[in-house]
Structure 1
Amino acid sequence: MGQKTIVQFFDDLTGEALDPDEVVREEFTFEGVDRILEGSQSSIDQFKLAVAPFADKAGKVKATRRSTRKGTDSGVSSREVRAWCAEQGIEVNDRGRIPKEIIAKFKEAN
């Protein structure tokens, strides 16, 4: 016996059935939760119209940068370890993780 799966789209606001080419997605965040509203262009326009007075009065959130870690897992400063390595003639990359063996040598010397 053969099977046929039919995917049907519905407007989130009206519940109306939509053709795939009629579906419009609007992504937004409300109370800290990312959400997606799917519906007809008319429903999305209605949503935007309802939210607009609040959005116009609300401040914009500036994009935040990920904080960069300072130091190493061992509790010593990466900058200090790299400076010590330079003094000792030990090659170590300017960026990235410092090998544990080098950190151990730094701790022994200090």
Structure 2
Amino acid sequence: MAQKVTVQLVDDLDDSPIAAGDGRTVEFAFDGSSYEIDLSNDNVDKFRDAISDYIAAARKTTGRRTGSSGKPSSAPKRGNSEELGKIREWAKENGYEVSSRGRISTQVQEAYAAAH
């Protein structure tokens, strides 16, 4: 008997399913903390509209390197929903424990990058 695992990506804001290519992970920072959220394209647009006045009035800063090693990570950059789905599927097939939504650990992303 064969077993088929299906990964369904879900919008973190309204819990609606995200079809491949119809959403992405949005990264943002506020009050010294960095955040990421998986959103449908509609909610990405709403988020962008909600903060557009603040962005227009703000100063852009250069990126800061984080981490203690000082070396860039070999893990893939946080990607679109389709890429995250591929990583989740690969991780489950290779014995890693990953949730169906939310952040994928750096360890899993680095293992995926090394295997591909």
What is the TM-score when the length of structure 1 is the normalising length? 0.49
If asked which structure has higher relative contact order (CA below 8 Å, sep 6+), I would say 2
What is the TM-score when the length of structure 2 is the normalising length? 0.47
